[in-house]
């Protein structure tokens, strides 16, 4: 880059941040230092034309990568021909998407409607459960994240609960299946999730006023730290809900549409929820979300005068995008790709864990993987500051990976690249992480040398 170009870029960057600081309101999420000017496939390009591997799929959404040519073609066609209508005007793209989704979902899930965001879907699903059951109590995991609107935010316990006034009545928290840190242990030290679940339900039953409506859950808790429940957990959880005549709402904002190795992550546990909420991955980064349920629940909601109306309810343009996404996922066997590349990514992360003492645990499924950072190998104390430093160094040398820092948790990296990621790009990302951990731990050594384990080459 010539000196004049460097000067121009620096001036543009300074002007950008000056305007951002002056006019953009903070919403509690710190801005990334990278100014991204374009994105294609798994790669981002910043104002300096520096290439960055995107291992969060945007906001965990760009399932097929950025600017997928088939998605771009659909957007162009519908922007020119059929973008937005009165919400009660149903179009062919909407019917096509509902039909395709109904074919892919296991029975009795066959009725759907379409919104824009994950918060909208969980808000609508919670209201549906209340209308159908006539009850109002909603249970969610203590590490849950279902959005930040009124009902969805009340069912979110991982973040965003402070200083917003009272939550919706009837919100109850259930211990999250956090095996790495759970105090429930068997005599051999392994995670005793059965006893923990018994304890959780005993607390719910004591707190309930007799109006349990639904349990809303993610099959893998993502923002909560990539918490994958142990085998048998979800199946028993569903059975406990049925005992209490509660509906099961499955929020698959980040796990749905092939990312975890099956079309829907709940299929891994051989269960079918009463209500399914999809978002993020369904629109491949564009604003599309869905709520799916059974004929019986739709009937009950109608009888209870359920109303859900938004400006972009069942819009044709995003529906056409979702239909194309599902077509590509099914046609290209994306679930298989997620398994293959996910196995490669996990194997590389395990090697990093063997090399660096500060990686306490690797967990996840398919192309939704997490690594928990600790600050002390003996006590396993959380290491959010260390994790944030690794994330910053990784971004500097070409990898965007999300670090979740929530109270009571360690810093947990979420790694969720597009399913179109290549084997070479995963190797590149692992090399960048290796370099980032090495650089950060050099500075951190004074505090932790006595706890370091023997290093193995990656």
Q: Output DSSP code: residue 105.
A: S
Known catalytic membership, residue 191: no
Q: Name the residue among 402, 368, 361, 384 with its Cα closest to residue 440.
A: 384
**CA distance readout (Å), 38 to 41, 45, 377, 424:** 10, 5, 40, 21
- What is the Cα–Cα distance from 440 to 432, expressed in whole angstroms? 12
- What is the Cα–Cα distance from 210 to 135, expressed in whole angstroms? 8
Q: Which of 78, 145, 178, 444 is catalytic?
A: 145
Residue with structure tokens 């879907």? 121
- What is the Cα–Cα distance from 232 to 269, expressed in whole angstroms? 7
Contact 248, 212 (CB under 8 A): no
- Dihedral of CA 66/70/74/80: which sign? positive
The stretches of 47-117 forming alpha helices (DSSP H) are 57-60, 69-81, 92-104
- What is the Cα–Cα distance from 234 to 411, expressed in whole angstroms? 25
- What is the Cα–Cα distance from 324 to 182, expressed in whole angstroms? 42
> Helix, strand, or coil here: 373?
strand
Antiparallel, parallel or unpaired: β 51-54 and 275-278? unpaired
List, by residue number, the catalytic residues.
145
């Amino acid at each position: 880059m010539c000196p004049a170009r460097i000067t121009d870029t620096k001036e543009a960057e300074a002007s950008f941040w000056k305007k951002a600081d002056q006019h953009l309101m903070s919403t509690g999420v710190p801005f990334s230092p990278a100014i991204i000017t374009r994105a294609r496939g798994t790669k981002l390009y910043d104002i300096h034309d520096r290439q960055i591997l995107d291992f969060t799929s945007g906001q965990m959404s760009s399932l097929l990568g950025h600017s997928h040519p088939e998605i771009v073609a659909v957007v162009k066609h519908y922007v020119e021909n059929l973008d937005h209508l009165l919400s009660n005007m149903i179009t062919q793209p909407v019917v096509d998407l509902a039909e395709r989704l109904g074919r892919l979902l296991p029975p009795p899930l066959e009725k759907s409607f379409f919104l824009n965001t994950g918060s909208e879907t969980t808000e609508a699903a919670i209201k549906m459960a209340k209308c159908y059951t006539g009850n109002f109590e909603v249970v969610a995991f203590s590490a849950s994240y279902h959005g930040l609107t009124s009902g969805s935010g009340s069912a979110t316990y991982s973040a965003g609960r402070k200083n917003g006034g009272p939550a919706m009545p009837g919100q109850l928290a259930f211990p999250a299946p956090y095996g790495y840190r759970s105090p429930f242990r068997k005599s051999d030290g392994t995670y005793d999730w059965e006893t923990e679940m018994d304890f959780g339900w005993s607390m719910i039953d004591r707190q309930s006023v007799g109006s349990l409506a639904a349990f809303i859950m993610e099959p893998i808790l993502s923002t909560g730290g990539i918490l994958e429940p142990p085998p048998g957990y979800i199946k028993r959880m569903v059975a406990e809900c049925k005992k209490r005549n509660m509906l099961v709402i499955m929020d698959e904002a980040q796990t749905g549409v092939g990312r975890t190795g099956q079309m829907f992550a709940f299929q891994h546990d051989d269960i079918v929820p009463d209500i399914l909420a999809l978002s993020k991955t369904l629109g491949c980064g564009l604003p599309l979300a869905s709520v799916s349920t059974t004929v019986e629940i739709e009937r009950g909601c109608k009888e209870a005068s359920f109303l859900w109306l938004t400006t972009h309810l069942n819009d044709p343009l995003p529906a056409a995008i979702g239909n194309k996404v599902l077509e590509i996922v099914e046609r290209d066997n994306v679930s298989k790709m997620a398994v293959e590349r996910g196995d490669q990514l996990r194997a590389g992360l395990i090697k990093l864990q063997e090399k660096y003492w500060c990686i306490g645990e690797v967990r996840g499924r398919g192309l939704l993987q997490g690594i928990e950072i600790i600050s002390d190998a003996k006590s396993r104390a959380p290491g959010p500051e260390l994790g944030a430093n690794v994330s910053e160094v990784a971004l500097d040398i070409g990898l965007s990976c999300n670090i979740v820092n929530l109270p009571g948790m360690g810093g947990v990296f979420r790694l969720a690249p597009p399913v179109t990621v290549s084997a070479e790009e995963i190797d590149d990302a692992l090399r960048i992480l290796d370099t980032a951990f090495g650089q950060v731990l050099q500075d951190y050594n004074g505090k932790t040398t006595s706890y370091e384990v023997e290093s193995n080459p990656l």
